[in-house]
Amino acid sequence: MQKSTPPRPSAALDNGQLDLPLFAEPAPVGTPSPSLPFFAAPAHTQSPFKAPSGPLAPDGTRLRTLELGARTLQYRLKRSSRKSIGFAIDGTGLTITAPRWVTIADIETAIAEKQRWIFAKLIEWQTRVEQRALPRVEWGDGAQLPYLGKPLRVRLGASVLAFDEVTRVLALPLPLHADAQQIKDRVTGWLQGEATRVFGERLGAYAAKLGVTFRSYALSSAMTRWGSCSSEGRIRLNWRLIHFPLSVVDYVVAHELAHLREMNHSPRFWQTVESIFPEFREARKQLKQHPPEMVPGM
């Protein structure tokens, strides 16, 4: 069995820009990637693999069952012309894509070696599926949604738009019979204004702390990342971060500013983040545990 080259970092450098993906934590240096090749193609084709067995998934795919100690794992197996074994986990479970010449025994050996990672990711996805069933924001008088980590309540019928920091009530100059889209648009506009103000303040504070200067910053509505930083010093932050506690905002701000020193996710990069925001690990964990469907407006 041959060893492959080390995996690339989870956030790849593309045209001088590094992104912070939504709900994805960069793997520690030296940690194998889910698609890390386990086997090199042999010189001669091996004997045919065993016929599929096991129950059917809802989509009709045959599931295989593997006993791993006291736990039972079901997975889909797909054959392809690729030269490595690939692991993919989503809301439907584990899917293995493997070369046609790799035996079932070798595939299940690879699964056993990756079982800690596999079960951890399956638990994460199960949590997301359960949370997805939680109630969504009902855009009307009395609607509630998070603002800087705490509930905010919407009140209609006000004469002017105003936010009371004590009662955490956002008063909107809309009639009680306003439709849901009107209310959502007005609240979103206010939140984006707050994001512009809050993020600008935090960027200024942490840039001074790190001793760096960013060229510009703007809000983003990206569905795949929380923030990005280009090699020219242009920073973009997802406005939906305004729903999270200030500690999470500070983590993303520190993360992007640290890229002005290190355009990578090396140990030196994380040391740079820690130098200006020592609590980044807890904030990163908190951000990772919130799936997109739990953030209003996603």
pLDDT digits (tens, 9 = 90+) for 158-170: 999 999 999 999 9
Percent of the chain, pLDDT > 70?
Answer: 72
pLDDT of residue 44: 37
Least confident of 32-41, 119-128, 153-162, 196-205: 32-41
Determine the structural domain holding residue 68 and report its residue range: 17-132
Shared domain check, 106 and 31: yes
pLDDT at 106 over 50: yes
Least confident of 5-9, 134-138, 171-175, 182-186: 5-9
The number of residues in the chain equals: 298
Average pLDDT score, the chain:
78
Count of domains observed in the chain = 2
pLDDT at 55 over 60: no
pLDDT at 54 over 70: no
Shared domain check, 284 and 192: yes
Q: What is the CATH number of the domain that holds 207?
A: 3.30.2010.10
pLDDT of residue 164: 95
* Mean pLDDT (whole number) for 120-147: 77
pLDDT of residue 278: 95
* Mean pLDDT (whole number) for 62-72: 85
Residue 29 lies in a domain: yes
> Last residue of a domain, which of 132, 166, 200?
132
Concatenated DSSP letters of the chain: -PPPPPPPPSS--BTTEEEEETT-PPPPTTPPPTT----PPPSS--PPPPPP-SPBPTTSPBEEEEEETTEEEEEEEEEES-SS-EEEEETTEEEEEEETTS-HHHHHHHHHHTHHHHHHHHHHHHHHHHHHTSPPP--STT-EEEETTEEEEEEE--SS-EEETTTTEEEESS-TT--HHHHHHHHHHHHHHHHHHHHHHHHHHHHHHHT---SEEEEE--SSEEEEEETTSEEEEEGGGGGS-HHHHHHHHHHHHHTTT-SS-SHHHHHHHHHH-TTHHHHHHHHHTS-GGGSTT-
pLDDT at 240 over 70: yes
> Last residue of a domain, which of 132, 162, 193?
132
pLDDT of residue 41: 35
Q: 46-79 b/e with 16+ CB inside 10 Å = b?
A: eeebeeeeeeeeeeeeebbebeeeeeebebbbee
CA 2 to CA 202: how far, in whole Å?
Answer: 47
Shared domain check, 280 and 204: yes
* Mean pLDDT (whole number) for 98-118: 91
pLDDT of residue 280: 92
pLDDT band of 137, cuts 50, 70, 90: confident
Residue 120 lies in a domain: yes
pLDDT of residue 72: 86
pLDDT at 103 over 60: yes
Shared domain check, 183 and 102: no
